[in-house]
Structure 1
Amino acid sequence: MNSANKILKYTLYSAMVTGGLLVTSCAPQSKYRAPKLDVPDHYRGQDTLTMASDSTSIADIPWREFFEDEQLIELIDKGLAHNFDMLDAIKNLEIANQRAKQAKHEWLPSLNADLGNVNYQYKSKNYYGSASGNYYDHKGKEAPENMYVNSAQYTSALSLSWELDIWGKIRSKSAAALAEYLQTTEATKAVQTELIASIVEGYYNLLLLDAQMEVAQTNYDLTKNTLKIVELQRDAGQITSLAIQQTKNQMLVAKALIPSLKQQIANQENALSLLTGQLPNEIERNTKLADAKANETLATGVPLYMLSQRPDVQSAELDLKAKNALVGVAQTSRYPSLSIDVTGGLNSMLGKNWFNIPGSLFGGLIGEVAAPIFNKRKLKTDFKVAKIERERSEINLQKTVYGAIAEVTDALINLQTIDEQIDIAQEQVTTSRLGVKQSNLLFNSGYATYIEVINAQKNLLDSELNLNKFKQAKLLSRVNLYKALGGGWK
Structure 2
Amino acid sequence: MSKTITFIAKHGKLLLVLINFVGLFYSCVPTRELKQENKNLPSNYAQQSVDTINSAALKWKYFFKDDNLAKLIDTALVNNQELSIMLQQIDVAQNEVKARKGEYIPFVDYGGGAEVEKVGEYTRNGAVEKNLEIKEGEEFPEPLADYSAGIFASWELDIWKKLRNSKKAAVLEYLSTIEGKNFMVTRLISEIADSYYELLVLDNQLAFIEQNLELQGNALTMVRLQKEAARATELAVRRFEAEVLKNQSHKFEVQQEIVEMENKLNFLIGRQPQHIVRHSEGFIETEMDTIYSGIPTQLLQNRPDIRQAEYELEAAKLNIKVARANFYPSIAIKAGIGLQAFNPKYLTTTPASLMYSIAGDIIGPLINRNAIKAGYNTANSKQIQAVYEYEKAILNGYIEVVNQLSKMENLKKSYSLKEGQVKALTESIELATRLFQSARIEYIEVLLTQREALESKMELVETKKNQLMARVNVYQALGGGWN
TM bucket (normalised to shorter chain) is: 0.7 to 0.9
Deviation per residue, 1:87-127 (Å, 9 max, x gap)? 1111111221222234334331111111x31223479x999
- Distance of 2:96 and 2:63 partners within structure 1: 35
C-alpha contact (below 8 Å) 1:120/1:149 kept by paired residues = no
Deviation per residue, 1:371-413 (Å, 9 max, x gap)? 2112441112211221111111111111121111111111112
> 1:267 is matched with which residue?
260
User: How do 1:43-122 and structure 2 match up within 5 A?
Assistant: 43=45, 46-47=46-47, 49=48, 51=49, 53=51, 55-114=52-111, 116-121=112-117
Amino acid at match of 2:39: L
> 2:41 is matched with which residue?
39
> 2:243 is matched with which residue?
250
Given the alignment, which residue of 207, 213, 235 partners 1:214? 207
1:207 and 1:455, CA in 2 relative to 1: closer, same or farther beyond 3 A?
same
1:127 and 1:394, CA in 2 relative to 1: closer, same or farther beyond 3 A?
farther
1:133 and 1:388, CA in 2 relative to 1: closer, same or farther beyond 3 A?
farther
- Distance of 2:147 and 2:33 partners within structure 1: 50
> 2:321 is matched with which residue?
328
For the aligned residue pairs, the C-alpha RMSD in angstroms reads: 3.1
Given the alignment, which residue of 148, 159, 166 partners 1:166? 159
C-alpha contact (below 8 Å) 2:129/2:139 kept by paired residues = no
C-alpha contact (below 8 Å) 2:185/2:481 kept by paired residues = yes
Q: Percent identity?
A: 29
- Distance of 1:264 and 1:128 partners within structure 2: 91
C-alpha contact (below 8 Å) 2:37/2:390 kept by paired residues = no
- Distance of 1:260 and 1:339 partners within structure 2: 73
Tell me which stretches of 4 or more aligned residues in structure 1 moved more than 6 Å. Answer: 25-34, 125-130, 140-143
- Distance of 1:30 and 1:97 partners within structure 2: 31
For residue 443 of structure 1, report the CA deviation from its aligned partner.
1.6
- Distance of 2:31 and 2:92 partners within structure 1: 29
C-alpha contact (below 8 Å) 1:28/1:332 kept by paired residues = no
1:71 and 1:122, CA in 2 relative to 1: closer, same or farther beyond 3 A?
farther
Amino acid at match of 2:149: S
Deviation per residue, 1:451-474 (Å, 9 max, x gap)? 111111011111111111101000
Given the alignment, which residue of 284, 290, 293 partners 2:284? 290
**TM-score, with length taken from structure 2:** 0.88
> Aligned pairs, how many?
458
> 2:133 is matched with which residue?
none
> 2:193 is matched with which residue?
200
- Distance of 1:128 and 1:242 partners within structure 2: 120
- Distance of 1:243 and 1:228 partners within structure 2: 11
C-alpha contact (below 8 Å) 1:31/1:325 kept by paired residues = no
For residue 281 of structure 1, report the CA deviation from its aligned partner.
1.5
For residue 355 of structure 1, report the CA deviation from its aligned partner.
2.9
1:394 and 1:188, CA in 2 relative to 1: closer, same or farther beyond 3 A?
same
Q: Given the alignment of the two structures, is residue 377 of structure 1 paired with residue 354 of structure 2, yes or no?
A: no
Deviation per residue, 1:181-230 (Å, 9 max, x gap)? 11011001011111111111110010010011111111111101110111
Q: Given the alignment of the two structures, is residue 388 of structure 1 paired with residue 384 of structure 2, yes or no?
A: no
> 2:134 is matched with which residue?
none
Q: Given the alignment of the two structures, is residue 434 of structure 1 paired with residue 427 of structure 2, yes or no?
A: yes
- Distance of 2:377 and 2:165 partners within structure 1: 17
C-alpha contact (below 8 Å) 1:32/1:321 kept by paired residues = no
Given the alignment, which residue of 408, 428, 445 partners 2:401? 408
The unaligned stretches of length 5 or more in structure 2 are 131-136
1:87 and 1:292, CA in 2 relative to 1: closer, same or farther beyond 3 A?
farther
- Distance of 2:449 and 2:221 partners within structure 1: 17
3-state secondary structure, aligned to 1:389:
helix
C-alpha contact (below 8 Å) 1:160/1:343 kept by paired residues = yes
1:172 and 1:439, CA in 2 relative to 1: closer, same or farther beyond 3 A?
same
3-state secondary structure, aligned to 1:157:
strand
Amino acid at match of 1:416: E
1:345 and 1:211, CA in 2 relative to 1: closer, same or farther beyond 3 A?
same
3-state secondary structure, aligned to 1:104:
helix
1:287 and 1:151, CA in 2 relative to 1: closer, same or farther beyond 3 A?
farther
For residue 414 of structure 1, report the CA deviation from its aligned partner.
0.6
- Distance of 1:149 and 1:291 partners within structure 2: 100
Amino acid at match of 2:115: N
The unaligned stretches of length 5 or more in structure 1 are none
- Distance of 2:208 and 2:118 partners within structure 1: 94
C-alpha contact (below 8 Å) 2:203/2:280 kept by paired residues = no
Given the alignment, which residue of 457, 465, 468 partners 1:472? 465
3-state secondary structure, aligned to 1:342:
strand
